[in-house]
């Protein structure tokens, strides 16, 4: 055992779900004691910031059961299997959720993030899509999504006012807006 960090000595599957698996990990701590840690294994996800030619950004509003509320988010979704490239998933979610399409070469990587590092390994790769053209939404049976369009300044205000609460959306938009700002 490494004396400087906890070490997993056992992992027990508690629940096998459609999106996540829940485990209880038995951990030996650096002082030799044992504790149980919760661990949620996620299959991974991708998200996209759809940018119209005039610079406005397409957002989606949808109900989220975990917080019993509607949220304003960038389009996102889980991977269709561990081997699916995240760019392919982001490209798919763009059209499914917004009804806009971009060529693959117009979808560019922005950043990767882990959503909740204390107990979950969910990693989301986030992309930016340009040169969009209108098609049609292709929602899953359990999705009811409204599409809304905002200027970058409106989105900054919504973040600062606490009206956008989704972490991936805040991180993605903040990073995108910082990259788009002229250097001081």
2 has pLDDT over 70: no
What's the chain's average pLDDT? 93
Closest CA to 172 of 63, 49, 88: 49
- Residue 19 is given by DSSP the state S
Q: Give the model's pLDDT for residue 144.
A: 86
C-alpha R_g of the chain: 19
Residue extents of the structural domains in the chain? 7-41, 43-180
Task: Kindly state the average pLDDT of the residues 113-142.
Answer: 92
Residue 184 is predicted with a pLDDT of 53
Summarize the confidence of residues 113-127 as an average pLDDT. Answer: 94
Please give the average per-residue pLDDT across 9-34, as a whole number: 93
The tens digit of pLDDT for each residue in 73-87 reads 999 999 998 889 999
What's the pLDDT score for residue 10? 96
pLDDT at residue 1 greater than cutoff 70: no
Which among 48, 43, 67 is positioned nearest to 59, based on CA atoms? 48
> Using CA atoms, how far apart are residues 77 and 86, in angstroms rounded to an integer?
10
Q: Which CATH class is domain 43-180?
A: alpha beta
- The confidence score (pLDDT) of residue 96 equals 93
Burial zone of 138 (CB within 10 Å; 0-12 exposed, 13-18 middle, 19+ buried)? exposed
Give residues with Cβ within 8 angstroms of 49, minimum separation 6: 57, 74, 110, 126, 127, 128, 129, 172, 173, 176
Mean pLDDT, to the nearest integer, of 104-124? 95
Q: What is the pLDDT of residue 140?
A: 74
**Span 40-53, pLDDT tens digits:** 999 989 999 999 99
């Amino acid at each position: 055992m490494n004396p400087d960090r906890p070490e997993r000595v056992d992992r027990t599957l508690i629940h096998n779900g459609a999106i996540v698996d829940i485990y209880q990990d038995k951990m030996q701590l650096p002082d030799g004691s044992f504790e149980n840690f919760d661990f949620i294994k996620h299959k991974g996800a991708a998200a996209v910031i759809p940018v119209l030619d005039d610079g406005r950004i397409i957002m989606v509003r949808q109900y989220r059961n975990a917080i019993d509320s509607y949220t304003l988010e960038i389009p996102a979704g889980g991977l269709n299997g561990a081997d699916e490239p995240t760019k392919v998933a982001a490209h798919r979610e763009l059209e499914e959720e917004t009804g806009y399409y971009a060529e693959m070469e117009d979808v560019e990587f922005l950043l990767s993030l882990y959503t909740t590092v204390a107990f979950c390994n969910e990693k989301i790769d986030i992309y930016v899509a340009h040169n969009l053209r209108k098609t049609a939404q292709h929602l899953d049976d359990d999705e009811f999504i409204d599409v809304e369009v905002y200027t970058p300044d409106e989105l900054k205000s919504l973040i600062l006012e606490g009206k956008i609460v989704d972490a991936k959306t805040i991180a993605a938009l903040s990073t995108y807006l910082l990259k788009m700002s002229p250097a001081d």
